[in-house]
Amino acid sequence: MTDEKKPRRRPRSDGQRNRENLLKVAKAAFTAGEIDIPLDEIAHRAGVGIGTLYRHFPNRDALIEAVYRAELDRLADAAPVLAAQHPPVEALRAWMRLFVDYIAAKLVIAPALNGLAGGTGTLYAQSGTVLQGAIDGLVAAAVASGDISADIEPVDLLRALAGVSNYAAGPGWETSAKRLVDILIARSQASAS
């Protein structure tokens, strides 16, 4: 039953171009706060028909998710780079702050997420995986170096951060978020002594 589809042909170049274009337009729109933008409009701005949009992304949520995932991947990719440039604890702190910065720059994440209606479960599950991989590595390194203790789940850090970012309404939210980073890390260091 392991029938692997051997695609006979190379994917068509125009298809990929259109797909990327749609993602770019959608990201721009979401970032600009136009979360309720009609899909027809996105298709139009990307210079394609509505049918094309729907072939690439079967529904609205799929499009949002795709944009979101692309950003997440960029964020996850930064982890190994930081790990190579800084000592463990500092790499961890830097990455968490980067996370905050991403949202500060309105890079899609939070607003788009709020737009998702129902089945967020799947989305979170997947995206959680990729981000968790990133932070797990950073935390593991910091624990190995003896700088922080292992009694805090890396996921907790993520969750807290993600949450703070969602409530990015108040004026001092950014300061608040970074302070939270310090608090959580400080706590881990304290109990490592």
Give me the least distance between CB of 11 and its own copies, in Å please: 32
- Between 58 and 115, whose beta carbon lies closer to its own copies? 115
Q: Which does 67 bind (CB under 5 to 8 A by kind): its own copies, DNA, none?
A: none
CA distance linking residue 32 with residue 42, whole number of Å? 13
Considering only CA atoms, which of 136, 141, 129, 11 is closest in space to residue 73?
129
**Binding to DNA by residue 193, rule CB under 7 A?**
no
Helix axis angle, 154-166 relative to 88-104, nearest 10°?
20
**Binding to DNA by residue 116, rule CB under 7 A?**
no
Question: Who contacts 134 (Cβ-Cβ below 8 Å, separation ≥6)?
Answer: 75, 76, 78, 79, 95
CA distance linking residue 27 with residue 24, whole number of Å? 5
The stretch among 47-55, 76-84, 133-141, 180-188 that binds DNA (CB under 7 A) is 47-55
CA distance linking residue 147 with residue 143, whole number of Å? 6
**Binding to DNA by residue 12, rule CB under 7 A?**
yes
- Between 44 and 69, whose beta carbon lies closer to DNA? 44
- Which parts of this chain interact with its own copies (CB under 8 A)? 33, 35-36, 113-118, 120-121, 124-125, 128, 152-153, 155-156, 158-167, 169-170, 173, 176-177, 179-180, 183-184, 186-187, 190
Length of the chain: 193
**Binding to DNA by residue 115, rule CB under 7 A?**
no
Site for DNA in 50-79 (CB under 7 A): 50-52, 54-56, 58-60
**Binding to DNA by residue 123, rule CB under 7 A?**
no
- Between 16 and 191, whose beta carbon lies closer to DNA? 16
The conformational region for residue 33 under phi > 0 = left, psi -120 to 50 = alpha, else beta, is left
Radius of gyration of the chain (CA): 19
Give me the least distance between CB of 6 and its own copies, in Å please: 35
- Binding region for DNA (CB under 7 A): 7-15, 18, 36, 38-40, 47-52, 54-56, 58-60
